[in-house]
């Protein structure tokens, strides 16, 4: 008997919880909104508090005999062709750490694309795993990294046959996708599992005109953020498993080790609702989003000073294997300003928040939730931005290194450097010192500096000039980068 995707076990159980007027002498302490500050209720609405109940001993009984969460996870697995699915309320930042720890262990090696998100590096720090960095495919002209090639993973395994597995990020926040099928074959020839950080790909299983979905491409574990390209709430994440290279009990144990014992049922409900929505209407909704993105891209391309990066820019030999058009990435170099300054102008003058921004680009992420109204407002703002470009010129210039200059030597394990005694030194004096912190432009959250790397002048100059131009470094101890945290010299 097939799965009944008209069901939404978490949502339906939550509705029954309200209907029977369940009375809990348990957390949360607001007790069904009764104790919440009226000012908070006025802003958030009572539905937020009504849906905020215990997962066990609230939504389900103390022994989870209703199987509410398990049924919802099984339906999700069926929807995306996975053997097992796990829900997380701690975002994909937790999910990817759980995946890493399920395929490798302290002191072992893992192949990792160097364009990985900072959460992957945090997993290396926590675990003591030694990364074998796999170089992205660099577009040196556009100063942009695309996912590493299949050949790069094959070469890395040949040089490090003891590595326990591989991790690749696909698609990137810019929409560039890896050859997941090829990379999975490289791993499986050696009996090694592939983990895909597919945080930006929740929508991929539901339309054939999008890049390949990790489970269909043969990946063993896939991590997806439901809140990014889906309809879930922030922090909603799922990770999927297939095949026999990773024990599902081990993966569940790693997630339990890292996760919260107080999961937010509202986040679970958002994941559950997204699955039902996509199974029932996903192809139509995403098809409409793709058509809207196509029209919007054409309209932006017609604005003076704008170039919309497309598959012809991102895909081809030495570049990405595939492309998702929903992140609308705009090169505004010809406007004579930076993405940082343009993003600030859009927010200040049109109350529009850009998805990504860097020294020469801004990006508008479209989803199935957008329509002609939202894109018309975006287009109006972009046209006015072009009209005011003269006011935004003379933006501070970012000194962007070449791909070769951007890569530094990893001389200590990330864990060892991060926990070593450290010192703060002026950025001008940090050349040659070993970094003791991550330094990550955000968004998109890909670290430029990792703990254990030997700092170089081009990288430090890039970051210092980036901050002066508007780059945000949330994880640096000194976000202005007047000083850098380095390993103390003995």
CATH no. for residue 456? 3.90.100.10
pLDDT score at 44:
93
Identify whether 398 is part of a domain.
no
- How far is 360 from 309, CA to CA, in rounded Å? 12
Task: Give the start-end residues of each E strand in 103-175.
Answer: 109-113, 130-134, 137-139, 144-146, 166-169
Q: Which strands, in side-by-side order, build the sheet including 307-308?
A: 307-308, 327-331, 361-365, 356-357
Backbone CA torsion sign across 342, 343, 348, 352: positive
Task: Please provide the DSSP assignment of 7-44 as one string.
Answer: --HHHHHHHHHHHTT---SSS-TTTTTTTS-HHHHHHH
Does one domain contain both 241 and 335? no
With beta carbons less than 8 A apart as the criterion, state whether 253 and 227 touch: no
Q: What is the pTM for the complete model shown? A: 0.94
Residue 317 domain boundaries:
282-392
Are 155 and 196 contained in the same domain? yes
Q: Count of CB atoms within 10 A of residue 438's CB?
A: 22
CA distance 349 to 15: 42
CB of 346 closer than 8 Å to CB of 361? no
Question: Residues 187, 305: one domain?
Answer: no
> Among 245, 276, 307, where does a domain finish?
276
Instruction: Quote helix, strand, coil % in the chain, to nearest 5.
Output: 40, 15, 45
Judgement on whether residues 316 and 452 belong to the same structural domain of the protein: no
Residue 363 sits in a domain whose CATH number is 3.90.1150.150
> 3-state class of 210 per DSSP?
coil
Total domain count, the chain = 3
| pLDDT reported for residue 131 | 96
Do 483 and 357 reside in the same domain of the chain? no
* 3 assigned to some structural domain: no
Same domain, 424 and 386: no
Is the CB of residue 356 less than 8 Å from the CB of residue 173?
A: yes
Q: 259 and 293: one domain? A: no
Q: Determine, yes or no, domain membership for 220.
A: yes
User: Cα 88 to chain center, whole Å?
Assistant: 14
CA distance 362 to 379: 13
Domain edge (last residue) among 225, 241, 276: 276
Does any domain span residue 233?
yes
**Are 195 and 239 found together in one domain?**
yes
Looking at the fold, whether 71 and 134 belong to one and the same domain comes out as: yes
CB 56 within 8 A of CB 62: yes
CA distances from 142 to 145, 319, 364 (A): 9, 12, 18
Whether 66 and 205 map to the same domain: the answer is yes
- The answer to whether the beta carbons of residues 306 and 362 sit under 8 Å apart is no
CATH number assigned to the domain comprising residue 122: 3.40.640.10
pLDDT for the residue 91 = 85
> Quick check: is 397 in a domain?
no
**pLDDT under 70: residue ranges of the chain:** 1, 490
**Structural domain includes residue 2:** no
Work out the burial of residue 250: count CB atoms within 10 Å of its CB; fewer than 13 is exposed, 13-18 middle, 19 or more buried.
middle
Residues 164 and 307 in one domain: no
Q: Are residues 32 and 99 in the same domain?
A: yes
Q: What is the structure's pLDDT at 1?
A: 56
The residue to which tokens 């609702």 are assigned: 273
For residue 300, the surrounding DSSP H or E stretch is: helix 265-301
Q: End of a domain among 256, 276, 296?
A: 276
């Amino acid at each position: 008997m097939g799965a009944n995707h008209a069901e939404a076990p978490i949502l339906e159980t939550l509705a029954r919880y309200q209907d029977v007027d369940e009375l809990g002498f348990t957390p949360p302490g607001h007790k069904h909104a009764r104790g919440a500050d009226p000012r908070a209720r006025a802003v958030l609405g009572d539905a937020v508090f009504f849906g905020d109940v215990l997962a066990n001993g609230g939504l389900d009984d103390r022994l989870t005999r209703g199987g509410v969460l398990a049924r919802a996870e099984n339906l999700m697995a069926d929807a995306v062709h996975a053997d097992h699915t796990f829900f997380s309320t701690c975002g994909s930042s937790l999910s990817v750490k759980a995946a890493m720890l399920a395929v490798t262990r302290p002191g072992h090696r893992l192949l990792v694309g160097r364009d990985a998100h900072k959460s992957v590096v945090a997993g290396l720090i926590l675990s003591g795993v030694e990364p074998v960095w796999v170089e992205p495919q660099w577009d040196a002209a556009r100063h942009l990294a695309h996912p590493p090639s299949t050949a790069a993973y094959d070469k890395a395994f040949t040089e490090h046959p003891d590595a326990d597995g591989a991790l690749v990020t696909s698609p990137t926040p810019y929409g560039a996708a890896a050859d997941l099928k090829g990379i999975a074959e490289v791993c499986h020839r050696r009996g090694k599992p592939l983990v895909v950080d597919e945080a930006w790909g929740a929508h991929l299983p539901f339309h054939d005109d999008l890049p390949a979905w990790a489970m269909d491409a043969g990946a063993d574990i896939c991590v997806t953020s439901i809140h990014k390209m889906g309809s879930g709430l922030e922090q909603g994440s799922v990770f999927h498993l297939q095949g026999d290279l990773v024990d599902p009990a081990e993966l569940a144990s790693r997630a339990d080790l890292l996760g919260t014992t107080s999961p937010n049922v509202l986040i679970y409900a958002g994941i559950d609702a997204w699955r039902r929505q996509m199974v029932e209407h996903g192809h139509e909704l995403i098809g409409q989003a793709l058509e809207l993105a196509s029209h919007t891209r054409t309209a932006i391309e017609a604005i003076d000073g704008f170039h919309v990066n497309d598959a012809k820019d991102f895909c081809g030999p030495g570049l990405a294997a595939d492309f998702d058009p929903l992140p609308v990435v705009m090169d505004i170099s010809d406007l004579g300003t930076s993405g940082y300054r343009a993003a600030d102008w859009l927010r200040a003058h049109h109350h529009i928040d850009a998805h990504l921004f860097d020294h020469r680009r801004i990006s508008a992420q479209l989803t199935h939730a957008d329509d002609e109204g939202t894109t018309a407002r975006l287009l109006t703002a972009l046209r006015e931005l072009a009209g005011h470009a003269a006011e935004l010129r003379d933006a501070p210039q970012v000194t962007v290194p070449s791909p070769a200059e951007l890569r530094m030597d990893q001389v200590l394990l990330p864990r060892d450097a991060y926990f070593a005694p450290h010192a703060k030194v002026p950025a001008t004096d940090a050349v040659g010192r070993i970094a003791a912190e991550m330094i990550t432009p955000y968004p998109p959250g890909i670290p430029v500096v990792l703990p254990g790397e030997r700092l170089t002048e081009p990288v430090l100059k890039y970051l210092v000039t980036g901050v002066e131009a508007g780059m945000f470094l949330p994880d640096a101890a000194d976000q202005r980068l007047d000083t850098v945290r380095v390993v103390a010299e003995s």
